[in-house]
Structure 1
Amino acid sequence: MGRRPQPHLKDRLLDACADHALAHGLPDRLEPLATATGASARMLIYHFGTRDALLRAVLGRARQRQLDTWGDLLRARPDEPYTTTLERAWASITSEDGRPYLRMFGQLRESAEQRLWPDFRRTATTDWLGPLEDGLRGMGRPELATLVLAVIRGLLMDLDATGDTARADRAFQEFLATLGHPAGGDRPRAHRPRGTSPGGTAGAGAATGP
């Protein structure tokens, strides 16, 4: 008589695998994930079927976390200019908390990883258009969602290539000013020392949208 399915155990294993992959990158073997979960590779295969099925599930779990977190960052807030919301979102996306997502999903641009999620590049772009359109609608400019997304992605690529955080932040602030950011006034600041490198943020900029 075979084992009965254990969905709660499977869910805990998947969370632990996602935690490890976000911290260390998506592995090409099962052993690092087995070590991280305290389970055997055989147990992981029992629950997920194949190595690639497990890796796809890990990517899906991490992506859902990203969508939940960054979707909330991009959500319009009453009595707050949406440009202020966008600046706070940029600071969080490029902060130490945001970098693991940029690193992980940046891997999906590489040919060795595309097989795990062949349509990722398209969905990773369109996922963010809705939240941006909703937020920009409050400014009467929902049609600017594609432009805002393109600027964010382009600056993430610049940041990844140069590590020049201060310059990328200034560029984003100047862009926001063209959208109607009031001159002067208090602006939220990224929670990291100025001039520090994002350390491999995102080949991700092109792959993950924000």
Structure 2
Amino acid sequence: MGRRPQPDIRERLLDACTDHALAHGLPDRLEPFTRATGASARVLIYHFGTRDALLRAVLGQARRRQVELYGDLLSVRPGEAYTDTLLRFWTSMTGPDGQPYLRLFGPLRESAEQRLWPGFRRVATTDWLGPLEEGLRSLGRPDLATLVLAVVRGLLADLDATGDAERTDRAFRAFLDAIEPRAADGQRAPAATSGPSTASRPSASAAEDPRGAL
């Protein structure tokens, strides 16, 4: 009777491959993953089946990490204006914590073939609408979710093309001020919520079925 892949070993290999992909991007060959894991290509194929299956699993694992990182940032916080919540979300996404995800998922969003992730561009466009609608409901404007997402995606494309973080940050702050102007004391009204947010978060169920990203 042949040996079966062991889930704990597979998970350790997947974590190491995901760390490498977030730091360096998806490799064209298995060799970078073998160096990152200390395992042979044969061992990786044994646990994941094919190279493409491993790449899809890596994308799914990276997606789960991104959901964990950004999920709480998009949730309504009692006593905090949701526009301030969105500013923290933007700052994290464009900062050191978020850049690895933008680098990893960006090429997939631009790819017309989408071989590893069929339907990626559609999912990446709609994936965050639920959490944004829930958060913006605290301002009485859940209808702004599509606009907010479009502004975020547009400014991310601008930042990627120009590297001008100061200008794009200033533009996003101006957009937030248009949504909810500050009072005379410079403060925004706190979010109107009676309890912890129940914002729906993007699902990241299976490594082989990763969801979209900003």
TM-score by length of 1: 0.86
What is the one-letter code of the residue matched to 2:115?
R
Structure 1 residue 155: Cα displacement: 0.4
Which residue matches 1:190? none
Which residue matches 2:52? 52
Q: In the superposition, relative to structure 1, how do residues 60 and 113 fare at CA in structure 2: closer, same or farther (>3 Å)?
A: farther
Q: Which whole-Å CA distance do the structure 2 matches of 1:113 and 1:3 have between them? A: 36
CA contact (8 A) 2:109 2:124 kept: no
Structure 1 residue 120: Cα displacement: 1.1
Alignment of 1:1-80 (within 5 A): 1-80=1-80
Structure 1 residue 208: Cα displacement: 3.3
CA contact (8 A) 2:83 2:180 kept: yes
3-state DSSP of counterpart to 2:127: helix
Which residue matches 2:104? 104
3-state DSSP of counterpart to 2:139: coil
User: How many residues are treated as equivalent by the alignment?
Assistant: 190
Which residue matches 1:208? 213
Q: Which whole-Å CA distance do the structure 2 matches of 1:113 and 1:101 have between them? A: 20
Q: Which runs of 5+ in 1 are unaligned?
A: 188-206
Q: Which whole-Å CA distance do the structure 2 matches of 1:186 and 1:160 have between them? A: 31
Relative to its length, the structure with more helix (as a share) is 1
Q: Which whole-Å CA distance do the structure 2 matches of 1:7 and 1:88 have between them? A: 36
Q: Which runs of 5+ in 2 are unaligned?
A: 189-211
3-state DSSP of counterpart to 1:29: coil
Structure 1 residue 186: Cα displacement: 7.0
* 1:120-169 superposed Cα distances (whole Å, 9 cap, x missing partner): 11111221001100100011100100000000000001111111111101
TM-score by length of 2: 0.84
Question: Quick one: higher RCO (CA 8 Å, sep 6+), 1 or 2?
Answer: 2
3-state DSSP of counterpart to 1:78: coil
What is the one-letter code of the residue matched to 1:75?
S
Structure 1 residue 124 corresponds to structure 2 residue 124: yes
CA contact (8 A) 1:107 1:113 kept: no
Structure 1 vs Structure 2: percent identity of aligned residues?
72
CA contact (8 A) 1:83 1:181 kept: no
Q: In the superposition, relative to structure 1, how do residues 181 and 85 fare at CA in structure 2: closer, same or farther (>3 Å)?
A: farther
Which residue matches 2:163? 163
Structure 1 residue 185 corresponds to structure 2 residue 186: yes
Which residue matches 1:196? none
Q: Which whole-Å CA distance do the structure 2 matches of 1:23 and 1:177 have between them? A: 34
What is the one-letter code of the residue matched to 1:36?
A
Q: Which whole-Å CA distance do the structure 2 matches of 1:112 and 1:174 have between them? A: 33
Q: In the superposition, relative to structure 1, how do residues 110 and 80 fare at CA in structure 2: closer, same or farther (>3 Å)?
A: closer
What is the one-letter code of the residue matched to 1:185?
G
Q: In the superposition, relative to structure 1, how do residues 110 and 178 fare at CA in structure 2: closer, same or farther (>3 Å)?
A: closer
* 1:51-87 superposed Cα distances (whole Å, 9 cap, x missing partner): 0000000001101111221121111111100000000
CA RMSD of aligned residues (A): 1.7
Which residue matches 1:136? 136
Q: In the superposition, relative to structure 1, how do residues 110 and 140 fare at CA in structure 2: closer, same or farther (>3 Å)?
A: closer
